[in-house]
Amino acid sequence: MSTPITPVGAFDRVRALAADRGSVRWTLRLLRWALTLLITFAGLLAVTFVIGRKVPIDPVLAVLGDRASAQAYAAMRVELGLDKPLAVQFLIYVRDVLHGNLGMSLLTANPVIDDIKRVFPATLELATLSTLLGVLVGVPLGVIAAVRHNRWIDHVARFVGLIGSSVPVFWLGLMGLLLFYAKLHWVSGPGRIDPVFDGMVDTHTGSLLLDALIAGEWDVFFNAVSHIALPAAILGYYSVAYLSRMTRSFMLDQLSQEYITTARAKGLPERRVIWRHAFGNIAVPLLTVIALAYSYLLEGSVLTEIVFAWPGIGSYLTGALLNADMNAVLGSTLVIGITFIALNLLTDALYRVFDPRAR
């Protein structure tokens, strides 16, 4: 005889079945996420490979020079693997990338991966400070501009956004150097640090500011601050302009909704209506805007790095382009693309944390 199922036993079976279904659902989500990541990364590799093969620069001549003999030219083609079919070349390229081999830089004679490890932290430090400035100033400015719609603070916010969208960053950087460095002497000049302090701090985090704090070298720290203040403020201004404009637009849309009118009719404090209800509903889409702004600063700070002689990946990429150093160009492009992918994944993860509907 079969044992009768008691209510407690039935409940346990239902709970176990629900747990199994939940595990399957999370497994499928993880597999779908991994497949999406794999396809995106494969597409990025394919794009960089095609760029390297289709640009009007002969990699053999870039290595040997224009006066290379026919025998040396043919031998170098074989050494670089250019005599093989494109499909085989792509598989070799993928294998090298997965092993961390991005080739040798013609400009520095170092492995490209080592050069990127050296220059990318400087760009990361500059972009991070600029984004923090944009968030701390731009987001509150956009909220206040929406709340004080058509008042003087709103006109100021729109003017800031207009200038940030219109003025070229290199011109603003040159004017900043002329005023604050050459005339007022408030900040230090181009570069990341004065030569006298170079090498005084061991590199641990890649951020000169953090490394100086860890080492307790206050002279190095304040000198680094005086160098990064102006380029971070220039890039931060563009981040403030963009984030304030987007925040203002999001808030104006939310403040016109019926639930805001209802909250005010119930007598809730205005501060709670604005920051808890209206701003709470724009926090999730605002994360995407901030991530995009950060991504733009990571790859779009080339002109700023050139103007301020900032030793970041933008300056490195520019020098590689001017010297036809395609390994360095493709390696830098690949790293920037991977950074974009990582930021998108981080944004998706934050969506699930802050928005229950995304779970």
List pLDDT tens digits, range 48-66.
Answer: 888 777 777 777 776 777 7
The pLDDT of residue 203 is 80
The whole-number average pLDDT for the span 30-38 is: 80
At 238-264, the pLDDT tens digits run: 899 999 999 999 999 988 888 888 888
Residue 233 pLDDT > 80, yes or no?
yes
> Given pLDDT bands bounded at 50, 70 and 90, which one contains residue 222?
very high
The whole-number average pLDDT for the span 346-350 is: 77
Residue 132 pLDDT > 90, yes or no?
yes
170, two tokens: 């290199």
Residue 231 pLDDT > 80, yes or no?
yes
**Which residue blocks in the chain are alpha helix, DSSP H?**
7-54, 59-64, 70-80, 86-98, 112-133, 139-147, 152-166, 169-176, 208-215, 218-255, 258-265, 270-272, 279-299, 302-307, 313-322, 326-354
The Cβ of residue 201 has, within 10 Å, a number of other Cβ atoms equal to 21
| Mean per-residue pLDDT of the chain | 82
The pLDDT of residue 201 is 82
CA–CA separation, 143 vs 171, rounded Å?
A: 29
The pLDDT of residue 135 is 92
CA–CA separation, 238 vs 299, rounded Å?
A: 14
Residue 10 pLDDT > 60, yes or no?
no
CA atoms within 13 A on the CB side of 61: 7
Residue 24 pLDDT > 80, yes or no?
no
**Block residue for tokens 């396809």:** 39
At 82-104, the pLDDT tens digits run: 778 878 888 888 888 888 888 88
At 317-336, the pLDDT tens digits run: 888 887 777 788 888 888 88
| Residue scoring higher pLDDT (7 or 205) | 205
The pLDDT of residue 30 is 77
| Residue scoring higher pLDDT (163 or 53) | 163
At 287-322, the pLDDT tens digits run: 888 888 888 887 667 788 888 888 888 888 888 887
Q: Determine if the pTM surpasses 0.85.
A: no
Q: Which of 253, 245, 239, 242 is nearest to 281 (CA)?
A: 253
The pLDDT of residue 15 is 58
The Cβ of residue 82 has, within 10 Å, a number of other Cβ atoms equal to 14
In one letter, which amino acid is 205? T
The pLDDT of residue 359 is 56
> Given pLDDT bands bounded at 50, 70 and 90, which one contains residue 106?
confident
Domains of the chain, residue spans: 7-98, 112-358
CATH topology assigned to domain 112-358: MetI-like fold (1.10.3720)
Quick one: what percent of the chain has pLDDT higher than 70? 91
At 183-212, the pLDDT tens digits run: 988 988 888 888 888 878 888 888 888 888
First-residue to last-residue Cα distance in the chain: 44
Contact 275, 172 (CB under 8 A): no
User: Exposed (0-12), middle (13-18) or buried (19+): which is 32, by Cβ within 10 Å?
Assistant: exposed
The pLDDT of residue 204 is 80
| Residue scoring higher pLDDT (34 or 282) | 282
| Residue scoring higher pLDDT (6 or 237) | 237
The whole-number average pLDDT for the span 270-281 is: 87
Residue 1 pLDDT > 60, yes or no?
no
CA–CA separation, 147 vs 141, rounded Å?
A: 10
